[in-house]
Amino acid sequence: MFDYVISYDVAALILIMLFVLFYFTRRRYVTIQTKMYSILIVFSAVSVSLDLLAVMCLTNRYFLPVWINYLVNILYFVISGLLAVIFCAYSMNATNSLNRLLHSMTLLVVFMLPYIVYVIALITTPFTHLVFYFDENRDYVQGPFIYGMLVLVVSYLLFSTVLITFHRGTVSFRRRVPYYFFTAIEFIAIILQAVTKVYLLDGFACSIGIVTLYLLENNANDFVDLESQLFNRSGFRFKLEDYSKNDSEVSVIGFGFTDNLITASQADSAYGDYIVNKIGSFLTGRFDAKNVFYLGNYMFAVIVDDEEDRERVVDDIRQRFLEQWKLSDGAIRLNIGICLLNYPVDYRNVISFLEALENGIRASIGRKGELVLADDIKRDQEKRIRKLEEAQEELREKYDEAEVRMQKALEADRSKSLFLAQMSHEIRTPMTAILGMTELLLRDTNNPQVREHAQAIMSSGKTLIGIINDI
């Protein structure tokens, strides 16, 4: 029987309980990933608690029935193994692989098979003594399959690491780090605990890993806009991707106003932040906070799950914006633009949907609250595309015309050069003969008058040759 050192488990329990209190008392961004993270936190707290309870039961084994010790220890092992399975599923969801697993019975059975073997071994251990047992002195004794149990747990952790690494194209390095850290610290804790046998390190490592996951992967501040206290643009994208994974359809009502509607006397950015905060307070007070988002640039979005609520949401937003927004030095009335899109019916791609929503809001500003629908946005996009195509065609025609003119100019330049070269050759040939004959005449005659005429011919010929060379 071992004298267990429980200080690490006590520290882990304090840490995880404080974190549970912190996490579940603040606003949380609700997606499949955050729901699974919440389950990880709960099971981690239960695992650490059961570990301490198991040690207490072993310490007081002489005063408790043997079946209680079996029950508590089996529960601890079941929850610890399930924690590894949940973490693996959590990693699969981060890589968009979980949906495929849940829709394939074969893959699901293969995925759960190690844990099923793990649980069967635990349930039968009071009779088979495979994992652990209590001898005639009620001392705790490890069974022959105890290390096999550890291997099954580690296999899920290693599979998570391989999966995250394989999908490094879709999971950024910053998001992969906490998964690597969780796996590494759990693996080290399991090895040390198996070697030392007395130090309860697994719960402590799990608690540290859970907090690290929150700080680097699930930090709610990454999804909350500090000005409006609404979920932000990143949160909106994650929410839509969540609906895609579930094959769900939702309506999204987008609305906003432009900053030029704030007068010059209110042009300070603090006024914009104040108005955004006021609108955020209105939206969270009127609608479900987890479905309200601030997209930036004075644009907001409300996700409506129930089709019957769409008109009510639109009317509530219109009615409120007909009223003035009170400021510290007066009031302001904002002229909003509002549009309605259905995801993923109108646009299947999240980026395209978000772009269309923002374009719809901009297009509807100035229409006095007239609702812009997906067809209006698509017609507007088609109109802009046609204008761009027309401008491109006109530019292409002008380019073709300029190219034709350039070719004609080049052809004219080549013709002129050819003409000058030919004329130069035709004139230079007889001029060379004239100058040669004149030079012979000057060499052979001594008549002064003839020489004077010959000199004039020679001078004029050389001048003409110089002009031809210059041309």
pLDDT by position in tens, the chain (length 471)? 556 778 888 888 899 999 999 888 876 666 777 788 889 999 999 999 998 898 888 888 888 888 998 999 999 999 999 999 999 998 888 887 887 788 788 888 999 999 999 999 999 999 998 888 888 888 888 888 888 888 888 899 999 999 988 887 667 777 788 889 999 998 888 888 888 877 788 888 888 988 888 887 655 556 777 677 788 888 888 888 878 777 778 889 888 876 555 544 444 445 677 788 888 888 888 888 788 898 888 889 999 887 778 888 888 888 888 787 776 666 777 778 888 888 877 777 888 888 888 888 887 776 666 677 766 666 676 777 788 888 888 888 888 888 888 888 888 888 887 777 777 777 777 878 787 888 777 777 777 887 777 788 888 877 877 777 776
What sign for the dihedral angle of Cα 75, 81, 85, 87?
positive
Q: CA 55, CA 76: separation in Å to the nearest integer?
A: 11
Q: CA 458, CA 412: separation in Å to the nearest integer?
A: 36
Question: Is pTM beyond 0.85 here?
Answer: no
| Structural contact between residues 274 and 268, judged by C-beta atoms closer than 8 angstroms | no
Instruction: List Cβ neighbours of 275 (8 Å cut-off, separation of 6 or more).
Output: 262, 298, 325, 327, 332, 334
Beta partners for 299?
256, 296
Q: Which three-class secondary structure state does DSSP give residue 104?
A: coil
H or E segment to which residue 23 belongs: helix 7-24
Closest to 384 measured CA to CA, from 362, 400, 404, 406? 362
For residue 344, say if its preceding peptide bond is cis, omega within 30 degrees of 0: yes
Counting Cα atoms < 13 Å in the Cβ hemisphere of 61 gives 22
Closest to 363 measured CA to CA, from 338, 343, 382? 338
What sign for the dihedral angle of Cα 407, 408, 413, 419?
positive
Tell how far CA 165 is from the center of its chain.
Answer: 17
| Whole-angstrom Cα Rg for the chain | 42
| Structural contact between residues 242 and 32, judged by C-beta atoms closer than 8 angstroms | yes
